[in-house]
Amino acid sequence: MNSGAVSSNVSRGDPPNQAQTPARRAVSHSALQRFAAKAFQRAGLNDGDAEIGAEALALTDAWGVHTHGTNLLPDYLRRLRNGGLRVQGKPHVTAEGPAWAKVDGDSALAMVTSAFAMRTAVNKARRCGIAYVGVRNSCHYGAAGVYAWQAAREGLIGLSMANDKPSVAAPGSRGRVMGTNPISYAVPAGRYRSIMLDMSVATAAAAKVWAALARGEKIPNTWLLDADGKPTTDPNDFPKGGALQPAAGHKGYGIALLIETLAGVLSGAAITNAVGGWLLGDLSTPTDHGAAFIAIDVKVMMPMDDFTRRVEGLVDEIHNAPRAEGVERIYLPGEKEWECYDRSMKTGIVLPPDVIEKLERAAELSQLDLAKELG
C-alpha cells in the first residue's frame, strides 16, 4: 500500500523548490492557457471553444496532472487539422427528459463536448436533484476530473467517466479487453477544497509503463501482462500485445464494465474495440468515444450548510486520524492536486521536459513562438 500518498493514475508535478533540470521550467498559468487557446484558434476553433479546451488543459497542468494537460495539445491539434476532430463540430442534445439527456458530440473537441454535457447535467439536476447525460461522438476528453469539478465548483456532486479503446486485460484474458475507462468524482467540501478522485481502472497508467520503457527500467509485476497473459516486469511487452492489469483484479474489471455500460452502451457511442485509437489511429476518422456525466444537486435534498458541515466533519476526522510511523499527513482524494494548484497559481506551473517538448511541437504546428507566448 501507498504509505500516506494519494497518488493518481497519472504523474504528478513536483514542488518548484526542488532541484530543477535546465529544461524544467515554471510558466504562468494564464500564459499557458492563453498559448493553448491561440493554438486551438489557429487550428480553426472559434474563440469560445478554444477557450474551453485551453482552460481544461491548463487546469489539469495546474493540478500537476501533466500526462493529461497541455502535453496532449499537439495531438488534439493534429486531429483538428486532419478532420478526426471537427473544427465546426457542435455538440447538441439529441433526446432528453427532465433528468437525463443524450448528447451527440459531433466529433468536436471532446473538452467542449464534455463541458457542454456536464453543464446540461448540472442544469437538469438543479431541477430534479440528479441527472444523467450520455455522450456519443466524443474523443479523448483529457482529465476526467475537470468535469467532475465543473459540477462541484457550483455546489453539486459531479461524476465523469469515459470509455476508450481496450488496453486493459480482463481476469484470465490474453490481450486487451477493456479500456482504461477513467472515472472521477468531486464533492463540494465547504471550507475545504472539493474532495476529488480521478482514476483509471488499471493498476498503473499506460503513461507509467511508457515512461519505464523510455528509461529502460523494470516495472512491478502487478502492472502489465505480456502477450501470453502472464504478469511481466518488462515494459517492452506492452507494445508487443501486452495488456495493463485491472486494479484489484475483478474489482477494476467490474468497474470498467459499469463505466462501459453508462458511457458506451447507454449513450449510443462505440463500445470497446469499436472505439477508434485517438493517438495512433487514423487522424482523419472520428473515434466515437463515449462518456457519461452525472450531477447531483445537494441543495435540492438537504440544506447546503448541513451538507458542508457534515463533509467538513468527515474531512477533519480523516485529517486527525492516527498515522502510521513516518507518515506526516493523511490526504483526502484530490488534496495533493489542490496543493499543487495553489503552488501553480502562486509561483507558476512547473512543467517537466517532455511537456515542454510537446508545447514546442504545438507551437510549430500553430506557427507561434513558444518563448514569446509563455513570456
CB of 140 to a copy of itself, least distance (A): 21
Instruction: Indicate the residue among 22 and 322 with the shorter CB distance to a copy of itself.
Output: 322
Q: Is 240 in the site for a copy of itself (CB under 8 A)?
A: no
The torsion angle over the Cα atoms of residues 34, 38, 39 and 41, rounded to 10 degrees, is 140
Out of 22, 48, 216, 322, point to the residue binding a copy of itself (CB under 8 A).
322
CB of 129 to a copy of itself, least distance (A): 4
Round to whole Å and give the CA distance between 181 and 200.
6
Q: Is 185 in the site for a copy of itself (CB under 8 A)?
A: yes
Q: Of residues 113-132, which lie at the interface with a copy of itself (CB under 8 A)?
A: 128-132
* Among residues 83, 175, 277, 281, the one that binds a copy of itself under rule CB under 8 A: 175
As a whole number of angstroms, the distance between CA 138 and CA 375 comes to 34
Handedness of CA 215, 28, 7, 186 (dihedral sign): negative
47 Cβ contact list (under 8 Å, min separation 6): 37, 41
| Residues 248-287, interacting with a copy of itself (CB under 8 A) | 248-255, 257-258, 260-262, 265-266, 268, 271-273
**Residue 37: CB minimum distance to a copy of itself, A:** 32
- 296 binding a copy of itself? (CB under 8 A): yes
* Interface with a copy of itself, residue 191, by CB under 8 A: no
Q: Which residues contact 17 (CB under 8 A, 6 or more apart)?
A: none
Binds a copy of itself (CB under 8 A): choice among 13, 145, 246, 286 = 246
User: In terms of Cα–Cα distance, which of 31, 33, 68, 79 is closest to 53?
Assistant: 33
Do residues 176 and 243 touch, judged by C-beta distance below 8 A?
yes
Three-state secondary structure readout of 225-237: ECCCCCEECCHHH
Out of 98, 216, 367, 371, point to the residue binding a copy of itself (CB under 8 A): 98
| 8 A C-beta contact, residue 133 and residue 117 | yes
Closest to a copy of itself by CB, 77 vs 296, is 296
Residues that contact a copy of itself, how many (by CB under 8 A): 87
* Closer CB to a copy of itself, 162 or 187, in the complex: 187
- Span of 135-143, 279-287, 291-299, 344-352 interacting with a copy of itself by CB under 8 A: 291-299
Indicate whether 152 belongs to the interface with a copy of itself (CB under 8 A): no
Phi-psi region of 13 (alpha: psi -120 to 50; beta: other; left: phi over 0): beta
